[in-house]
A = this chain, B = another copy of it.
Amino acid sequence: MERPGGRTARVRRAVMVATEDVIVEHGPAGIDLGDVARRAGVGRATVYRRWRTASGLIADLLADMAERSEPRARTGRLETDLLANARLVQRTLNSRRQGPIFRAVIAASTTDPECARALHDFYRTRLRTWAPCVVEAIDRGEAPPGTDPVAVITAVSAPLYYRLLLSDQRLDRRAVEQAVAVTLAGVRAGAFVVEC
């Protein structure tokens, strides 16, 4: 059993930061376990034993990010909850550190199945964390019964990722507000209602 903040946790934190540094500098293809160990000030044997491969490091980095990601909003209104979610995506993807990490990991996932699994898990966790915003909106009568919570949260993020990956347009305030307005219109029109 390990105490939080114990040695194992400290080693993991140092290795995660070093992995991020390497991805930002060289991309995920540039991850070398010996290099990560050196930067983290940790024995090579520890890194090889615990993470095995570059994909193992990326997978654990995404798990770490999911654990440390911000809690969902609880503003009491669907529109402002969705806006908080969109702004979190915007902040993350525009961040000089996290933006390149996400682009790199998304790219690596197109060819590396272990990395893809970790990425899908990350987004599943993120979507499930925010889904209760929609469940509560249904309870408050802001969304029709049968609205699919995960689909609603996905719809807010999707145009922001489209911009990041397929265009040279900035993730600006207008993009964020439009993503929320369109999703909200879809909710009200029943476009997210799942038929049984």
Chain B CB within 8 A of A27 CB:
yes
Contact A166 B123 (CB under 8 A): yes
Residue A132 interfacial (CB < 8 Å): no
Give the contact-size bracket for chain A.
35 or more
Residue A45 interfacial (CB < 8 Å): no
List the B side residues contacting A151 at CB < 8 Å.
Answer: 178
Give the chain B neighbours of A116 by CB distance below 8 A. 168
Bound CA–CA A178/B182 (angstroms): 13
In the docked arrangement, what's the CA distance between A99 and B158, Å? Answer: 19
Q: Is chain A's binding surface mostly helix, strand, loop or mixed?
A: helix
Assembly CA distance A163 to B184 (angstroms): 20
How far does the alpha carbon of A181 sit from the alpha carbon of B192 in the complex, in Å? 8
Please choose the segment from A10-18, A66-74, A80-88, A100-108 that sits at the chain B interface, where 4 or more of its residues have CB less than 8 A away. A100-108
Q: Please list the residues of chain A having a beta carbon within 8 angstroms of any beta carbon in chain B.
A: 27, 103-104, 106-111, 116-117, 119-120, 123-124, 151, 154-155, 157-159, 161-162, 165-168, 178, 181-186, 188-189, 191-192
